[in-house]
A = this chain, B = another copy of it.
Protein backbone atom coordinates (compact mmCIF):
# COMPACT_ATOMS: atom_id res chain seq x y z
CA UNK A 1 0.00 0.00 0.00
CA UNK A 2 2.88 2.25 0.71
CA UNK A 3 4.12 1.69 -2.83
CA UNK A 4 0.74 2.39 -4.28
CA UNK A 5 0.50 5.63 -2.36
CA UNK A 6 3.93 6.64 -3.53
CA UNK A 7 3.27 5.72 -7.13
CA UNK A 8 0.08 7.70 -7.19
CA UNK A 9 1.31 10.62 -5.13
CA UNK A 10 -1.26 10.02 -2.45
CA UNK A 11 -1.12 9.14 1.18
CA UNK A 12 -1.40 5.64 2.56
CA UNK A 13 -4.60 6.56 4.36
CA UNK A 14 -6.20 7.64 1.14
CA UNK A 15 -5.34 4.39 -0.53
CA UNK A 16 -6.65 2.38 2.39
CA UNK A 17 -9.86 4.32 2.48
CA UNK A 18 -10.37 4.18 -1.24
CA UNK A 19 -10.04 0.43 -1.12
CA UNK A 20 -12.48 0.23 1.73
CA UNK A 21 -14.78 2.46 -0.28
CA UNK A 22 -14.90 5.21 2.29
CA UNK A 23 -17.17 8.21 1.73
CA UNK A 24 -14.25 10.47 2.44
CA UNK A 25 -12.64 9.73 -0.87
CA UNK A 26 -13.80 11.26 -4.13
CA UNK A 27 -15.02 9.06 -6.93
CA UNK A 28 -12.22 10.08 -9.21
CA UNK A 29 -9.50 9.24 -6.74
CA UNK A 30 -11.16 5.97 -5.91
CA UNK A 31 -11.23 4.99 -9.51
CA UNK A 32 -7.63 5.95 -9.96
CA UNK A 33 -6.59 3.80 -7.04
CA UNK A 34 -8.81 0.85 -7.78
CA UNK A 35 -7.62 0.74 -11.36
CA UNK A 36 -4.01 0.85 -10.35
CA UNK A 37 -4.55 -1.85 -7.78
CA UNK A 38 -6.24 -4.07 -10.35
CA UNK A 39 -3.40 -3.61 -12.72
CA UNK A 40 -0.78 -4.42 -10.15
CA UNK A 41 -3.06 -7.06 -8.76
CA UNK A 42 -2.27 -6.19 -5.26
CA UNK A 43 -4.12 -7.96 -2.47
CA UNK A 44 -4.24 -6.51 1.01
CA UNK A 45 -2.37 -8.44 3.62
CA UNK A 46 -4.98 -10.29 5.65
CA UNK A 47 -2.61 -10.79 8.53
CA UNK A 48 -2.19 -7.09 9.02
CA UNK A 49 -5.92 -6.69 8.87
CA UNK A 50 -6.42 -9.52 11.34
CA UNK A 51 -3.98 -7.93 13.69
CA UNK A 52 -5.80 -4.67 13.44
CA UNK A 53 -9.31 -5.82 14.06
CA UNK A 54 -8.66 -8.87 16.14
CA UNK A 55 -10.47 -11.29 13.87
CA UNK A 56 -8.73 -14.06 12.00
CA UNK A 57 -11.66 -15.17 9.86
CA UNK A 58 -10.88 -18.74 10.59
CA UNK A 59 -12.53 -21.33 12.72
CA UNK A 60 -11.01 -24.37 14.31
CA UNK A 61 -12.46 -27.83 14.04
CA UNK A 62 -11.51 -30.57 16.45
CA UNK A 63 -12.63 -34.08 15.67
CA UNK A 64 -11.28 -37.58 15.85
CA UNK A 65 -10.30 -38.17 12.27
CA UNK A 66 -10.69 -36.73 8.79
CA UNK A 67 -10.35 -40.13 7.31
CA UNK A 68 -13.78 -41.39 8.30
CA UNK A 69 -16.88 -41.47 6.19
CA UNK A 70 -19.07 -39.68 8.67
CA UNK A 71 -16.66 -36.95 9.68
CA UNK A 72 -15.44 -36.25 6.21
CA UNK A 73 -19.04 -35.58 5.27
CA UNK A 74 -19.45 -33.33 8.27
CA UNK A 75 -16.33 -31.48 7.24
CA UNK A 76 -17.72 -31.02 3.80
CA UNK A 77 -20.78 -29.42 5.34
CA UNK A 78 -18.71 -27.20 7.59
CA UNK A 79 -16.56 -26.18 4.67
CA UNK A 80 -19.52 -25.33 2.51
CA UNK A 81 -20.85 -22.69 4.87
CA UNK A 82 -17.49 -21.52 6.17
CA UNK A 83 -16.35 -20.95 2.62
CA UNK A 84 -19.44 -19.02 1.66
CA UNK A 85 -19.00 -16.74 4.64
CA UNK A 86 -15.34 -16.16 4.04
CA UNK A 87 -13.97 -18.28 6.83
CA UNK A 88 -11.14 -20.73 6.68
CA UNK A 89 -11.35 -23.92 8.59
CA UNK A 90 -8.40 -25.24 10.48
CA UNK A 91 -8.76 -28.92 11.18
CA UNK A 92 -7.21 -30.75 14.07
CA UNK A 93 -7.52 -34.46 14.54
CA UNK A 94 -7.44 -35.85 18.04
CA UNK A 95 -7.22 -39.47 16.89
CA UNK A 96 -9.41 -40.38 19.84
CA UNK A 97 -6.76 -39.30 22.30
CA UNK A 98 -7.49 -36.94 25.15
CA UNK A 99 -3.89 -35.88 25.33
CA UNK A 100 -3.86 -35.05 21.68
CA UNK A 101 -7.09 -33.14 22.07
CA UNK A 102 -5.49 -30.98 24.73
CA UNK A 103 -2.56 -30.28 22.46
CA UNK A 104 -4.90 -29.48 19.60
CA UNK A 105 -6.79 -26.97 21.63
CA UNK A 106 -3.64 -25.38 22.91
CA UNK A 107 -2.33 -25.24 19.39
CA UNK A 108 -5.52 -23.81 18.01
CA UNK A 109 -5.79 -20.99 20.47
CA UNK A 110 -2.21 -20.08 19.81
CA UNK A 111 -3.34 -19.84 16.22
CA UNK A 112 -5.96 -17.17 16.70
CA UNK A 113 -9.22 -18.66 15.70
CA UNK A 114 -12.50 -16.82 15.93
CA UNK A 115 -14.45 -19.83 17.04
CA UNK A 116 -14.25 -23.54 17.62
CA UNK A 117 -16.23 -26.54 16.48
CA UNK A 118 -15.74 -29.58 18.66
CA UNK A 119 -16.59 -33.23 18.72
CA UNK A 120 -14.66 -34.63 21.67
CA UNK A 121 -12.46 -37.71 21.63
CA UNK A 122 -13.60 -41.01 23.06
CA UNK A 123 -11.13 -40.59 25.88
CA UNK A 124 -12.27 -37.18 26.99
CA UNK A 125 -13.93 -37.10 30.38
CA UNK A 126 -12.65 -33.81 31.64
CA UNK A 127 -13.89 -30.76 29.82
CA UNK A 128 -12.06 -28.00 31.63
CA UNK A 129 -9.90 -27.29 28.61
CA UNK A 130 -13.02 -26.37 26.69
CA UNK A 131 -14.74 -24.58 29.54
CA UNK A 132 -11.68 -22.43 30.14
CA UNK A 133 -11.62 -21.50 26.52
CA UNK A 134 -15.23 -20.53 26.57
CA UNK A 135 -14.69 -18.44 29.68
CA UNK A 136 -12.02 -16.55 27.83
CA UNK A 137 -14.65 -15.61 25.32
CA UNK A 138 -14.07 -18.05 22.51
CA UNK A 139 -17.34 -19.10 20.88
CA UNK A 140 -17.67 -22.87 20.81
CA UNK A 141 -20.24 -25.07 19.13
CA UNK A 142 -20.41 -28.77 19.81
CA UNK A 143 -21.51 -31.30 17.28
CA UNK A 144 -22.17 -35.01 17.24
CA UNK A 145 -20.52 -35.86 20.52
CA UNK A 146 -21.92 -33.40 22.99
CA UNK A 147 -21.00 -32.67 26.54
CA UNK A 148 -23.56 -31.53 29.08
CA UNK A 149 -21.09 -29.57 31.13
CA UNK A 150 -20.69 -27.01 28.39
CA UNK A 151 -23.43 -24.55 27.77
CA UNK A 152 -23.49 -23.53 24.14
CA UNK A 153 -25.11 -24.32 20.82
CA UNK A 154 -25.09 -28.02 20.08
CA UNK A 155 -25.93 -30.04 17.02
CA UNK A 156 -26.79 -33.68 17.41
CA UNK A 157 -28.87 -36.40 15.94
CA UNK A 158 -31.66 -38.04 17.84
CA UNK A 159 -29.48 -40.91 18.95
CA UNK A 160 -32.01 -42.47 21.26
CA UNK A 161 -34.72 -42.50 18.64
CA UNK A 162 -32.41 -43.72 15.89
CA UNK A 163 -31.18 -46.53 18.01
CA UNK A 164 -34.63 -47.34 19.27
CA UNK A 165 -36.06 -47.56 15.76
CA UNK A 166 -33.20 -49.69 14.59
CA UNK A 167 -33.58 -52.08 17.48
CA UNK A 168 -37.32 -52.28 17.01
CA UNK A 169 -36.68 -53.19 13.40
CA UNK A 170 -34.44 -56.05 14.51
CA UNK A 171 -37.03 -57.26 16.97
CA UNK A 172 -39.82 -57.04 14.42
CA UNK A 173 -37.63 -58.93 11.99
CA UNK A 174 -37.63 -61.76 14.47
CA UNK A 175 -34.31 -61.47 16.22
CA UNK A 176 -34.39 -62.31 19.88
CA UNK A 177 -30.88 -62.12 21.19
CA UNK A 178 -29.51 -58.82 20.08
CA UNK A 179 -26.05 -57.65 20.97
CA UNK A 180 -24.95 -54.05 20.96
CA UNK A 181 -21.38 -52.97 20.29
CA UNK A 182 -20.87 -49.34 20.95
CA UNK A 183 -18.14 -46.80 21.46
CA UNK A 184 -16.69 -45.48 24.69
CA UNK A 185 -19.22 -44.94 27.49
CA UNK A 186 -17.70 -41.48 27.88
CA UNK A 187 -19.54 -40.33 24.81
CA UNK A 188 -23.02 -38.93 24.72
CA UNK A 189 -23.68 -40.76 21.50
CA UNK A 190 -22.82 -44.08 23.14
CA UNK A 191 -25.02 -43.67 26.17
CA UNK A 192 -27.92 -42.33 24.17
CA UNK A 193 -27.72 -45.06 21.59
CA UNK A 194 -27.46 -47.62 24.33
CA UNK A 195 -30.50 -46.13 26.01
CA UNK A 196 -32.49 -46.40 22.79
CA UNK A 197 -31.39 -49.98 22.43
CA UNK A 198 -32.46 -50.85 25.96
CA UNK A 199 -35.72 -49.00 25.62
CA UNK A 200 -36.66 -51.04 22.57
CA UNK A 201 -35.78 -54.30 24.29
CA UNK A 202 -37.71 -53.44 27.41
CA UNK A 203 -40.79 -52.25 25.56
CA UNK A 204 -40.81 -55.52 23.69
CA UNK A 205 -40.34 -57.62 26.78
CA UNK A 206 -36.89 -58.75 25.90
CA UNK A 207 -34.30 -59.02 28.64
CA UNK A 208 -31.51 -56.47 28.86
CA UNK A 209 -28.40 -58.45 29.51
CA UNK A 210 -25.12 -56.66 29.99
CA UNK A 211 -23.25 -59.59 28.54
CA UNK A 212 -24.59 -58.59 25.17
CA UNK A 213 -23.43 -55.01 25.46
CA UNK A 214 -19.85 -54.30 24.53
CA UNK A 215 -17.94 -51.06 24.64
CA UNK A 216 -15.00 -50.11 22.46
CA UNK A 217 -13.07 -47.52 24.37
CA UNK A 218 -11.32 -46.25 21.29
CA UNK A 219 -14.45 -46.13 19.20
CA UNK A 220 -13.18 -48.84 16.93
CA UNK A 221 -9.95 -47.01 16.07
CA UNK A 222 -8.16 -50.12 17.19
CA UNK A 223 -9.44 -53.08 15.21
CA UNK A 224 -8.57 -55.41 18.06
CA UNK A 225 -11.10 -54.02 20.43
CA UNK A 226 -13.88 -54.67 17.97
CA UNK A 227 -12.60 -58.13 17.20
CA UNK A 228 -12.41 -59.10 20.84
CA UNK A 229 -15.88 -57.72 21.51
CA UNK A 230 -17.29 -59.88 18.74
CA UNK A 231 -15.30 -62.89 19.84
CA UNK A 232 -16.66 -62.56 23.33
CA UNK A 233 -20.17 -62.35 21.98
CA UNK A 234 -19.72 -65.41 19.80
CA UNK A 235 -18.31 -67.37 22.72
CA UNK A 236 -21.30 -66.79 24.92
CA UNK A 237 -23.35 -69.82 25.86
CA UNK A 238 -26.09 -68.37 23.74
CA UNK A 239 -24.49 -66.24 21.05
CA UNK A 240 -26.56 -63.34 19.74
CA UNK A 241 -28.59 -63.79 16.59
CA UNK A 242 -28.09 -60.14 15.67
CA UNK A 243 -25.52 -57.45 16.29
CA UNK A 244 -26.26 -53.78 16.37
CA UNK A 245 -23.13 -51.68 15.97
CA UNK A 246 -23.18 -48.08 17.03
CA UNK A 247 -20.56 -46.35 14.94
CA UNK A 248 -19.09 -46.25 11.49
CA UNK A 249 -15.77 -47.83 12.25
CA UNK A 250 -17.26 -50.48 14.48
CA UNK A 251 -19.83 -51.37 11.89
CA UNK A 252 -17.39 -51.83 9.05
CA UNK A 253 -14.93 -53.70 11.20
CA UNK A 254 -17.66 -56.04 12.40
CA UNK A 255 -18.68 -56.74 8.86
CA UNK A 256 -15.11 -57.50 7.90
CA UNK A 257 -14.55 -59.69 10.90
CA UNK A 258 -17.66 -61.76 10.33
CA UNK A 259 -16.79 -62.15 6.68
CA UNK A 260 -13.27 -63.24 7.43
CA UNK A 261 -14.49 -65.63 10.09
CA UNK A 262 -16.81 -67.16 7.52
CA UNK A 263 -19.88 -66.31 9.54
CA UNK A 264 -22.85 -65.83 7.27
CA UNK A 265 -24.88 -62.67 7.49
CA UNK A 266 -27.79 -62.72 8.13
CA UNK A 267 -28.14 -66.52 8.29
CA UNK A 268 -25.76 -67.08 11.18
CA UNK A 269 -26.02 -63.64 12.63
CA UNK A 270 -27.69 -60.46 11.50
CA UNK A 271 -25.95 -57.10 11.39
CA UNK A 272 -27.25 -53.59 11.55
CA UNK A 273 -25.15 -50.55 12.20
CA UNK A 274 -24.63 -46.87 12.16
CA UNK A 275 -22.64 -45.96 9.09
CA UNK A 276 -22.60 -43.26 6.50
CA UNK A 277 -20.81 -45.10 3.78
CA UNK A 278 -22.42 -44.81 0.38
CA UNK A 279 -21.44 -48.41 -0.16
CA UNK A 280 -23.89 -49.95 2.31
CA UNK A 281 -26.08 -51.07 -0.57
CA UNK A 282 -23.30 -52.93 -2.31
CA UNK A 283 -21.71 -54.57 0.67
CA UNK A 284 -21.81 -58.28 1.16
CA UNK A 285 -24.52 -58.55 2.21
CA UNK A 286 -26.24 -55.22 1.64
CA UNK A 287 -26.15 -53.70 5.06
CA UNK A 288 -29.05 -52.44 7.09
CA UNK A 289 -27.77 -49.09 8.16
CA UNK A 290 -28.65 -46.06 10.18
CA UNK A 291 -27.36 -43.04 8.35
CA UNK A 292 -26.90 -39.58 9.75
CA UNK A 293 -27.34 -36.25 8.00
CA UNK A 294 -23.64 -35.58 8.28
CA UNK A 295 -23.41 -32.81 5.72
CA UNK A 296 -26.32 -30.94 7.29
CA UNK A 297 -24.83 -31.40 10.71
CA UNK A 298 -21.64 -29.75 9.53
CA UNK A 299 -23.56 -26.94 7.89
CA UNK A 300 -25.64 -26.21 10.95
CA UNK A 301 -22.68 -26.36 13.27
CA UNK A 302 -20.75 -23.91 11.14
CA UNK A 303 -23.76 -21.65 10.79
CA UNK A 304 -24.37 -21.55 14.50
CA UNK A 305 -20.74 -20.93 15.23
CA UNK A 306 -20.43 -18.10 12.79
CA UNK A 307 -23.60 -16.65 14.25
CA UNK A 308 -21.91 -16.59 17.64
CA UNK A 309 -18.68 -15.25 16.25
CA UNK A 310 -20.37 -12.39 14.47
CA UNK A 311 -22.90 -11.57 17.12
CA UNK A 312 -22.66 -8.01 18.40
CA UNK A 313 -23.94 -8.87 21.85
CA UNK A 314 -22.83 -11.78 23.99
CA UNK A 315 -25.20 -14.66 23.39
CA UNK A 316 -26.74 -16.15 26.50
CA UNK A 317 -29.46 -18.32 25.06
CA UNK A 318 -28.21 -21.47 23.46
CA UNK A 319 -30.04 -24.12 21.55
CA UNK A 320 -29.53 -27.77 20.81
CA UNK A 321 -30.53 -28.78 17.32
CA UNK A 322 -31.61 -32.36 16.89
CA UNK A 323 -31.48 -33.96 13.46
CA UNK A 324 -33.13 -37.13 12.33
CA UNK A 325 -31.52 -40.22 10.97
CA UNK A 326 -32.63 -42.66 8.35
CA UNK A 327 -32.97 -46.38 8.72
CA UNK A 328 -32.19 -48.28 5.55
CA UNK A 329 -33.37 -51.83 5.80
CA UNK A 330 -31.40 -54.26 3.71
CA UNK A 331 -30.54 -57.89 3.50
CA UNK A 332 -28.17 -58.04 6.45
CA UNK A 333 -31.10 -58.08 8.81
CA UNK A 334 -33.56 -60.22 6.90
CA UNK A 335 -34.49 -63.29 8.86
CA UNK A 336 -34.68 -66.57 7.05
CA UNK A 337 -33.87 -67.28 3.47
CA UNK A 338 -36.03 -64.67 1.83
CA UNK A 339 -33.63 -62.48 -0.08
CA UNK A 340 -34.23 -59.62 -2.39
- Could you list which residues of chain A lie within 8 angstroms of chain B, going by C-beta atoms? 43-48, 50-51, 56, 58, 65-68, 72-73, 75-76, 79, 83, 88-93, 107, 109-112, 252, 255-256, 259, 277-279, 281-286
Contacts and interface: CB of A to CB of B under 8 A. Distances in A.
Q: How many copies does the complex hold?
A: 2
Given A66-B75, A67-B72, 15 more contacts: A43-B109, A46-B111, A46-B112, A47-B47, A51-B51, A66-B79, A67-B75, A67-B76, A79-B91, A83-B107, A252-B282, A256-B281, A277-B277, A277-B279, A284-B286
B252 A281 contact: no
A116 B79 CA distance: 18
Contact of A111 (B67, B76, B88, B281): B88
A43 B110 contact: yes
Contacts of A44: 110
A256 B282 contact: yes
Given A66-B75, A282-B283, A284-B284, A51 B43 contact: no
A47 B43 contact: no
B285 A47 contact: no
Given A46-B111, A91-B89, A66 B72 contact: yes
Contacts of A73: 67
